[in-house]
A = this chain, B = another copy of it.
Amino acid sequence: MVSSHTPNSPGRQHSPGAATGPTERAATTTTGEGRPFAADAVDAIVDQWAQVRPDLDTGPMAVYGRIYRIARTMGDAVEKEYARFGVSRGEFDVLATLRRSGEPYTLSPRELSATLMLTTGGMTGRLDRLERAGLLTRNPCPDDRRALRVTLTDRGLELADGAVTAGLGVQHQKLGSALDTEEAEQLATLLRKLLGAHE
Contacts and interface: CB of A to CB of B under 8 A. Distances in A.
Contact of A52 (B102, B172, B193, B198): B102
Contacts of A61: 168, 171
A14 B89 CA distance: 13
A155 interface: no
A68 B68 CA distance: 8
Contacts of A7: 110-111, 114
A186 B193 CA distance: 13
Contacts of A93: 15, 18-19, 21-22
21 contacts: A5-B101, A5-B114, A8-B117, A11-B119, A15-B90, A16-B17, A17-B72, A19-B78, A20-B168, A22-B93, A24-B115, A37-B193, A41-B195, A42-B195, A49-B164, A52-B100, A60-B175, A63-B191, A174-B197, A175-B194, A183-B193
Contacts of A2: 100-103
Contacts of A62: 184, 188, 191-192
A116 interface: yes
Contact of A13 (B45, B53, B117, B167): B117
Contact of A179 (B72, B78, B193): B193
